Structure 1
Amino acid sequence: MELRHLSYFATAAELGSINRAAAALHMTQPSLSRQIKELERDVGHALFERTSTGVTPTAAGNGLLRHLQVVFAQLERMPEVLRLAEEAREPVRIGLPQGMPHDWFRGIIEALHASLPAASLSLHEATTEDQRPLLQNGLLDFGLLHFDAPELETVPLLDQRLGLAVPAGSPLSDRTSLELADFDGLTVMAHAFGEVNAEETRVRAAVAASGADTAWVFRRFGEHSELIAMTSEVDAVFMTEASAGRQLSDWVWIPVEALDTSGVPLVTRTWLAWTPPLRPFLQRVVDVVTDASRPA
Structure 2
Amino acid sequence: MVIPSFCTTFLGSCVLVLAVCRSAAGGASWTYTGDHGQEHWPDSFPDCGGTSQSPINLKTWNAVHDGSLPPIQPVGYRTPDDSTFTLANNGHTVKLSLPSSMRLIGLPNNYTAAQLHLHWGSEEHPGGAEHYIDDQEYPAELHIVHYNSDAGKINDVKDKPNGLAVLGILIATGPRSNPGFANIINHLGRVSYAEQSVPIPSFNIEDLLPSNLDRYFRYSGSLTTPPCSQSVVWTVFSNPVQISESQMETLRTTLHSTPMNRPPAVLENNVRHIQPVNYRTVYVSFVMEKGLSAGKFLLFFITSSM
TM-score if structure 1 supplies the norm length?
0.23
Give the helix-richer structure, 1 or 2.
1
Greater relative contact order (Cα 8 A, min sep 6): structure 1 or 2? 2
Structure number, greater radius of gyration: 1
